[in-house]
Amino acid sequence: MNPLGAHALIWVAGWEEPDARRAISGAARAGFDLIEIPLLDPASVDARMTAAVLEEHDIGATCSLGLDFRTDVSSDDPATVARGEQLLHEAVTVAHDLGSTYLGGILYSAMGKYTRPPTRTGWDNAVGVLSEVASHADRYGITMGLEPVNRYESNLINTPQRAVDLIEQTGADNLVVHLDSYHLHIEAADLGAAVAGCRDRIGYVHIGENHRGYLGSGQVDFPALFRALAAIDYGGPIVFESFSSAVVSEAFVGALAIWRDQWQDSDDLAAHAHRFIIDQLTAADRSRR
Ligand code: MN
């Protein structure tokens, strides 16, 4: 059975202790094994407090982030790339200190809409930084996931194959592909083929609807996705991601275009998602026999 998780933004946008308590207790109550904690600003996350609250509720954590245009490691500007490398190093340290063995997301470029294609220099800069940071992360026992996202949130990695290309260029063993059904729904020709195409590299999976609201109420072909994951015996984390204007985060609202109120009740949404994922896993498993 895969470890199941939920993103903290289902409950809260900040990470002061009351926020951490609300999100972690909410994820635990909904039945999840782990919570994904955003590290957009790693220095603002109190790792010791987080570790203590996680222990209290007996669940684990993973970490994620998207860089911004000031810290874009795929930039042509060396100072911008250096700021991004610094932020990724800090995020690895905080992830480790709060007890996570995973850091994923848009670690390779800014999270936002670009107005031109990436440059060769920018690609090489991203490869250089990720090789460096992956080796630092490896010393902390941390796996890093590159999440292919849709064309409006990055220009560098929009498909699983591009993530594989970047990983192969770094030669790092602790870099994996981080799939997301929401992004694949926009960019992939076929969910099953997308999974099969990078089968040995998949280390983390985000589950989200095409409108990022309640699972099963949109257009994503979840049965096909779960069958494809079952076919490759994927045993890694499956983490529910959903965003609504009900939980407002300055950092995410513009970058992810969260303009609509997809839901109000975080706990109902999370409990529904947990049941939905279990049902999909069960059905996919049954269809193999
Ligand atoms: Mn995602």
Count other Cβ atoms within 10 Å, centred on residue 197: 17
**Of 120, 111, 124, residue with least CA distance to 150:** 111
Given a contact cutoff of 8 angstroms between Cβ atoms, the answer to whether 80 and 72 are in contact is: yes
Could you tell me the distance, in angstroms and rounded to a whole number, from the CA of residue 65 to the centre of ligand 1? 10
By percentage, how much of the chain surpasses pLDDT 90? 92
Query: For residue 148, how many C-alpha atoms fall within 13 Å in the half-sphere facing its CB?
Result: 27
Spacing, Cα 164 to ligand 1 middle (Å) = 17
Cα–Cα distance, 150 to 157 (Å, whole number): 8
CB atoms within 10 A of CB 135: 14
Rounded to the nearest whole angstrom, what is the distance from the C-alpha of residue 135 to the centroid of ligand 1? Answer: 24
CA of 208 to the centre of ligand 1 (A): 7
**pLDDT 10s digits, 59-69:** 999 999 999 99
Answer yes or no: is pLDDT of 254 > 90.
no
Q: How far is the CA of 289 from the centre of ligand 1 (A)?
A: 31
Question: What spacing in Å lies between the alpha carbon of 241 and ligand 1's midpoint?
Answer: 6
Residue type, 127: V
CA of 10 to the centre of ligand 1 (A): 13
Residue 256 has what pLDDT?
87
The pLDDT tens digits of the residues spanning 109-148 come to 999 999 999 999 999 999 999 999 999 999 999 999 999 9
Please tell me the distance between residue 206's alpha carbon and the centre of ligand 1 in angstroms.
5
The verdict on whether 241 is a catalytic residue reads yes
Q: What is the DSSP string of 203-225?
A: EEEEE--TTSSSTTSSS--HHHH
Distance separating alpha carbons of residues 35 and 55, to the nearest angstrom: 12
pLDDT in tens, 180-234: 999 999 999 999 999 999 999 999 999 999 999 999 999 999 999 999 999 999 9
> What residues form DSSP beta bridges with 247?
none
Contact 4, 237 (CB under 8 A): yes
Q: Quick one: CA dihedral 110, 113, 115, 119, positive or negative?
A: positive
Helix (H) or strand (E) holding 184: helix 181-187
Tell me what pLDDT residue 188 has.
Answer: 96
User: For the segment 257-289, what is each residue's pLDDT rounded down to a tens digit?
Assistant: 888 888 999 999 999 999 999 999 999 999 987
Task: Kindly name the residue from 36, 85, 209, 241 that is annotated as catalytic.
Answer: 241
Is-catalytic flag, 17? no
- What's the mean pLDDT in 244-264? 86
Instruction: Report CA 233 to chain centroid distance, whole Å.
Output: 20
pLDDT at position 182, please? 97
**Choice among 36, 85, 147, 209 that is catalytic:** 147
**What is the reported pLDDT for 105?**
98
- Any idea which residue has 């690609």 for tokens? 123
In angstroms, what is the span from residue 105 Cα to ligand 1's centroid? 7
On the CB side of 177, CA atoms within 13 Å amount to 27
Q: Give the DSSP H or E segment for 160.
A: helix 160-170
d(CA 107, CA 147): 8
